Amino acid sequence: MALLSDLINLNLSESTEKIIAEYIWVGGSGMDIRSKAKTLPGPVSDSQKLPKWNYDGSSTGQAPGEDSEVILYPQAIFKDPFRRGNNILVMCDAYTPAGEPIPTNKRHNAAKIFSHPDVVAEEPWYGIEQEYTLLQKDTKWPLGWPLGGYPGPQGPYYCGIGADKAFGRDIVDSHYKACLYAGINISGINGEVMPGQWEFQVGPAVGISAGDELWVARYLLERITEIAGVVLSFDPKPIQGDWNGAGAHTNYSTKSMRKDGGYEVIKKAVEKLKLRHKEHIAAYGEGNERRLTGRHETADINTFSWGVANRGASVRVGRDTEKHGKGYFEDRRPASNMDPYVVTSMIAETTILWKP
Amino acid sequence: MARSALTDLLNLNLSDSTDKIIAEYIWIGGSGMDLRSKARTLPGLVTDPAKLPKWNYDGSSTGQAPGEDSEVILYPQAVFKDPFRRGNNILVMCDTYTPAGEPIPTNKRFNAAKIFSHPDVVAEVPWYGIEQEYTLLQKDVKWPLGWPVGGYPGPQGPYYCGVGADKAFGRDIVDSHYKACLYAGINISGINGEVMPGQWEFQVGPAVGISAGDQVWVARYILERITEIAGVVLSFDPKPIQGDWNGAGAHTNYSTKSMRNDGGIHVIKKAIEKLGLRHKEHIAAYGEGNERRLTGRHETADINTFSWGVANRGASIRVGRDTEKDGKGYFEDRRPASNMDPYVVSSMIAETTILWKP
């Protein structure tokens, strides 16, 4: 047993210049993350200097068997917390051999929006609060819950401690350090209202990098739950009944919102979001109707509302922002299984580019 | 084998790759006994609580604010080293305020800090040594650790400071807590196994003024984080098992400058007199459920009677033989329950003995 971890922890820098690069991409469902590794002759820190690669798209529901090659374009590099040394993780997006983004490639369109001059000028910042639920492996019942039954009602678990209140902290804490090591801008973690549910936050991240960092953070989380023998769920309402759902609240600001007088810019932006409520909701994650009920700190899915410090609204503005007359706001609608490329670029598009 | 990979990540020393640190902000929740915490990344090491940013949390999820106006503000008050994350990472003990800057009702630290900054109290340099007892319970049945499920261990006798697999249950938790507290910078002065099997005690002190409360709360936090790791439930109930089994207290040892100086024994006797006159008020603030514990048996004084004596463990207040012999020293208030709030108890003792005039 000890021998295997000695091998996993071998520091190759002493014996070779070669490094291992783990290429990561989003699979055919839009939520399944895939990865495979290749050896490179030496350390690389610029994603544009990495070679393109390809994979069998017919095995991920992204290409037919007779023409199965999907091309991987490296887009962002992070340090690999599992292999450490000079080894890297590479976030990629997926293209046909002809160079067209495949249908499940949401990054391509997001990158277009984020490179529009008006959007670039506004320097959009994102802070994404990713909630998730840990499940016992063979039963898919939440971690720490008695099989065939339920824990005591919600109340003690939010930011709670203790063996009867916090389930899976090892996973959460090792993820925190792994993300910091990798270079992901993880800003915090907390235990959530439903037992076995946790949250981490990524940000502030500018433009397209919010999506890259969140996807790689999700990848690290699922690699860590794999080690722990626990199943990771991004379902927005994993347990029916008086149990909170899981969201991905997206905090957002532009240069204009962060400057003096920004509160007026925020109010105008929130008005525009209200006018496009249905379009946003349609893109904010599958199954969100099970979560956005108007109860459990959500706003009803059919109604757009906003308020200061109001956790029952679609959009929440913090008291500090109201007090200083500038800052940011929180879109509380996205589900935990949202695609951050879609949500971040759509918020930028609606608030900066779209004219009602 | 896979768990060692998880341990490698948990033990990553980030100082090699970044200046960033993780700060775990700790506060007391709506019941007055539930500890809560969440973590945030800071750009670099900070050791002065006044230089740490205020934060906020969802008070509607802890019974401390309504959903339509849920933000409760955290004010950092004391910093300790984080024994779980190590490196430059920190624990931050906070208290809680409305956005308008008012302490919320469950914030007992605010009033204690006022008392401890009164010039007369400052001049007396009040020292506290708090003996925190607690019981360890098996996780799914909430029966004491080491007790047979559906039954009882042999009667009390062999367990106080005992050793052996049939007498000491959970020492790993106690010993790791001891080192963790020392690492964190908490002034933990000792530990011992208690009279009831599965019950233990640690002592914090001497601590001056408000810092006694800060250190006891963070010591409690570290203890519950450790029992969480061990898969054991922590109880501060003052009488966890009915019958011929000891309860759990938080005896509070106390002295002022005058008591520690020559002739201090007279100051001590006057102070005890004042405590006797305010017995009911103190008892009301010394922990919920204390009437199940203060029965006059099991080394307690009856809850309705105030008494004191030298070396008397059946009295409300005990003065040590050394103090009597030296004519100066400290005394022990044995009334507080294990679930007392140290901010309340420490400040109330100071207020009654230093500020209050009968």
Residues A167-202: tens digit of each pLDDT:
999 999 999 999 999 999 999 999 999 999 999 999
Cα separation, A212 vs A190, in Å, equals 22
Residue of B nearest to A145 (CA): B140
Backbone conformation region of residue A193, classed left if phi is above 0, alpha if psi is from -120 to 50, else beta: alpha
Is the minimum CB–CB distance between A29 and chain B shorter than 8 Å?
no
Concatenate the DSSP letters of all residues of B155-213 into one string: PSSS-TT--STTT---HHHHHHHHHHHHHHT--EEEEEE-SSTTEEEEEEEEEETHHHH
Q: What is the pLDDT of residues A299-321, one digit of tens each?
A: 899 999 998 877 789 999 988 89
For A5, the closest of B1, B140, B234 (CB atoms) is B1
For A161, the closest of B9, B57, B221 (CB atoms) is B221
Is the minimum CB–CB distance between B122 and chain A shorter than 8 Å?
no
Is the minimum CB–CB distance between A158 and chain B shorter than 8 Å?
yes
Q: What is the pLDDT of residues A115-153, one digit of tens each?
A: 999 999 999 999 999 999 999 999 999 999 999 999 999
Q: Can you list the residues of chain B whose pLDDT is less than 70?
A: 1-2
The residue among B130, B133, B256, B135 whose CA lies nearest residue B204 is B130
Is the minimum CB–CB distance between B69 and chain A shorter than 8 Å?
yes
Q: Which pLDDT band, with edges at 50, 70 and 90, does A1 fall under?
A: low
Q: Which pLDDT band, with edges at 50, 70 and 90, does A222 fall under?
A: very high
pLDDT in the model for residue B3: 76
Cα separation, A160 vs A195, in Å, equals 9
Cβ pair B249, B314 in contact under 8 A: no
Is the minimum CB–CB distance between B309 and chain A shorter than 8 Å?
no
For B60, the closest of A170, A311, A318 (CB atoms) is A311
Chain A contacts of B84, Cβ < 8 Å? 173
Concatenate the DSSP letters of all residues of B136-162 into one string: EEETTT-PBTTSPTTS--SPSSS-TT-
B38 in helix, strand or coil?
strand
Is the minimum CB–CB distance between A170 and chain B shorter than 8 Å?
yes
pLDDT in the model for residue B257: 98
The residue among A159, A221, A165, A319 whose CA lies nearest residue B39 is A159
Cα separation, B252 vs B131, in Å, equals 6
CA distance B1 to chain A (A): 6
Is the minimum CB–CB distance between B295 and chain A shorter than 8 Å?
no
CB contact under 8 A, B12 and A169: no
> Does the pLDDT at position A155 exceed 60?
yes
From the CB of residue A253, how many other CB atoms can be counted at a distance below 10 Å? 23
The residue among A130, A76, A30, A115 whose CA lies nearest residue A349 is A115
Residue of B nearest to A194 (CA): B61
Cβ pair B201, B303 in contact under 8 A: no
Sign of CA dihedral A315, A320, A322, A325: negative
Q: What is the pLDDT of residues A92-119, one digit of tens each?
A: 999 999 999 999 999 999 999 999 999 9
CB contact under 8 A, B70 and A191: no
CB contact under 8 A, A163 and B34: no
Q: Which pLDDT band, with edges at 50, 70 and 90, does A352 fall under?
A: very high
Find all residues with CB under 8 Å of A284, minimum gap 6, and list them.
A333, A334, A335, A338, A343
For B12, the closest of A161, A177, A318 (CB atoms) is A177
Mutation target among A86, A87, A158, A317 for the B interface, most CBs of B within 10 A: A158
Sign of CA dihedral B235, B241, B245, B248: positive
B residues 208-237 lying closer than 8 A (beta carbon) to A = 221, 224-225, 227-228, 230-234
Confidence (pTM): 0.94
Q: Which pLDDT band, with edges at 50, 70 and 90, does A163 fall under?
A: very high
Strands B90-97 and B21-28: parallel
pLDDT in the model for residue A309: 77
**Percentage above 70 pLDDT, chain A:** 99
Cβ pair A86, A20 in contact under 8 A: no
CA distance A26 to chain B (A): 25
Concatenate the DSSP letters of all residues of A192-248 into one string: -SSTTEEEEEEEEEETHHHHHHHHHHHHHHHHHHHHHTEEEE--S-SS-SSS---BE
Angle between helix axes A208-228 and B2-10 (nearest 10 degrees) is: 130
- Residue B230 CA, chain-centre distance (Å), reads 20
Is the minimum CB–CB distance between A283 and chain B shorter than 8 Å?
no
The residue among B254, B232, B294, B292 whose CA lies nearest residue B124 is B254
pLDDT in the model for residue A298: 86
CA distance B226 to chain A (A): 8
For residue B103, say if its preceding peptide bond is cis, omega within 30 degrees of 0. Answer: no
Sole residue written with tokens 């109707």: A289
Strand partners, B21: B42
Mean pLDDT over each residue of chain A, to the nearest integer: 96
CA distance A155 to chain B (A): 6
